[in-house]
Amino acid sequence: MMSGEKTNAVLEQYLVLAKGARGAAAVSLVKQALEAPSLYVFGELLHCNSVKQLEESAEHKPYADLLRIFAYGKCSDYITNKQTLPEISAGMIRKLRHLTIVSLATNNKQIPYGLLLKELDLHNVRELEDLIIEAIYAGVIKARMDQSKQLLEVRYTLGRDIQISELSKLLVILEDWTGKCSESLTDIQNQIVAAQLKKAHRVTQNQQTEAEICNIKKTLKLTNAERSGVRSSTEHMDTAESKIAKKPSSSATKTKGLRGSAKVLKL
């Protein structure tokens, strides 16, 4: 998988070499950069003085034009101007096709196979799918091939160079993106406030419920205490009445004694 740090490191090497390259040496440097398997950005190299000077020579200008196509163009641009451009190697063709997929994905994340075959100058689906797999393994894109629908579903692409003329369009896109981010942030903040209010309401309800439960427990405790007091008083009264009922009266005892005396006298 290609990383941004690795790409920048490779590009930096060519930028350093370009400072001292002139004429044929600059042409050789351009060829090496286009062949480099991990280098897919060329805008900074294109703006080096040594590369700009290639445009001043009829012999070397085609290489500056070729570098410009790799920086900003597609396969169709090379095919259209092929007669005035240098012959390119199989590795360069592969890289330009990878870059073309990136450009197509900028406007459409679901790219029909038919459009890819046309833009990449390929003749059958097998070649196309092999190229897509290469681009995925190279880290140029993250995508899925839908063979049933004949679509390439792109989820990520590396960034390409941007021409100065496209900066105003990019600014509009960035402003639109910033606006959507602000809307999303406002929506998130509103959801946070709503969640906090809901939480506070739930806490208040829980506190009220706990207070009510506490009051009910106190009421039940007092009621049970009162019932226990009444029961104890009733039992005490019943015990006292029972003792009174069991104790013989003094008049009954006296009467019994008198009856006994009478019997003795009679004898």
Mean pLDDT by 10-residue block, N- to C-terminus, for the chain (267 residues)? 65 85 89 91 90 89 94 94 93 95 92 95 95 93 94 92 79 88 92 92 91 89 77 61 58 50 46
135 vs 94: CA distance, rounded Å: 9
In a domain, 178, yes or no: yes
> Are residues 48 and 21 part of one domain?
yes
Q: Quick check: is 238 in a domain?
A: no
Report the length, in residues, of the chain: 267
- At 202, list the tokens: 């739930």
Asked whether residue 264 is assigned to any structural domain, the reply reads no
Q: Are residues 203 and 172 in the same domain?
A: yes
Q: What is the pLDDT of residue 35?
A: 93
Q: Is residue 83, in this structure, part of any structural domain at all?
A: no
Query: Is residue 112 located within the same domain as residue 149?
Result: yes
**How many separate domains does the chain show?**
3
Among 144, 161, 178, the domain-final residue is 161
Is 38 part of a structural domain of the chain?
A: yes
Domain range spanning residue 180? 166-231
| Domain contains 187 | yes
Q: Does residue 251 sit within a domain?
A: no
Asked whether residue 157 is domain-assigned, the answer is yes
Q: Which of 112, 144, 161 is the last residue of a domain?
A: 161
Contacts 24+ apart (CB under 8 A), 44-47: 44/11, 44/15, 45/11, 45/14, 45/15, 45/18, 46/71, 46/161
Indicate if 20 and 52 belong to the same structural domain.
yes
Task: Give yes or no: residues 102 and 65 share one domain.
Answer: no
Range 102-109, long-range pairs (CB < 8 A, 24+ positions): 102/140, 102/141, 102/157, 102/158, 102/160, 103/74, 103/160, 104/74, 105/141, 105/143, 105/154, 105/157, 106/157, 106/160, 109/153, 109/154, 109/155
Q: What's the distance, Cα to Cα, between the start and end of the chain in Å?
A: 140
